[in-house]
Amino acid sequence: MERGRPGLLTLGAVTSETTPDVSRIAPPARQVRLAQVTDRPIDVGAHTAAVAGVASGAVVSFAGVVRNHDGGRLVTSIEYQAHPTAAAVLARVVAEVTAGSEAEAVAVSHRVGPLAVGEAALVVAVAGVHRAEAFATAMELVDEIKRQLPVWKRQVFADGTDEWVACP
């Protein structure tokens, strides 16, 4: 990305005029509607509904789901264990990411305990005026949660063996 003449932004061969975003009636609300570590199943639809509003032109959701394989081996289930500070760490990460974004509202849950294949382990929903800010905030939330949250995963394989992942 390079700057040419004032007001012109060049992205490789694509050039467009830069103008301030005048689509907002008010500055972004930046509301954290939910940030929890829970042992209950997580409902993606409930997270999406929690962030949706008439000011939002985009609602993005992400569900990190337990898959049936890892490293060429069949996975039958997983278990997440959390440090006692996990809820506080999640709240801090969500607040920091949200404060630095243009998103209107976010809802985030991370599951702990035993999970079956197909169940959601991490759900993130973000509402924004535009899709770019909603996608960017959702991606940053997922990345920072995976990087900072003190939660460890035990995978159980079809052959009866298990393995701890992301465990110090």
Count the residues in the chain.
168
Residue 148 forms part of a structural domain: yes
pLDDT tens figures, 108-162: 999 999 999 999 999 999 999 999 999 999 999 999 999 999 999 999 999 999 9
Any idea what the Cα angle at residue 125 is, between residues 120 and 127, rounded to 5°? 170
Q: Is residue 59 part of a domain?
A: yes
Contact 104, 110 (CB under 8 A): no
pTM as predicted: 0.84
Q: What is the chain's percent helix, strand, coil content, to nearest 5?
A: 25, 40, 35
- Residue 131 in domain: yes
β partners of residue 152: 81
Q: Which residue has the tokens 């009636």?
A: 25
Domains contained in the chain, number: 1
Q: Give bridge partners of residue 17 from the DSSP assignment.
A: 8
Output the domain CATH number for residue 142.
Answer: 3.90.1170.40
Domain that includes residue 143, residue range: 28-165
- First-to-last alpha carbon distance for the chain, in angstroms, is 39
In a domain, 99, yes or no: yes
Q: Is residue 87 domain-resident?
A: yes
Query: Residue 33 falls within a domain, yes or no?
Result: yes
How do residues 4-42 score in pLDDT, each as one tens digit?
444 433 344 444 455 566 677 777 778 999 999 999 999
- State the DSSP H helix or E strand holding residue 59, giving kind and residue range, or none if neither: strand 58-65
- Segment holding 93, helix H or strand E: helix 86-99
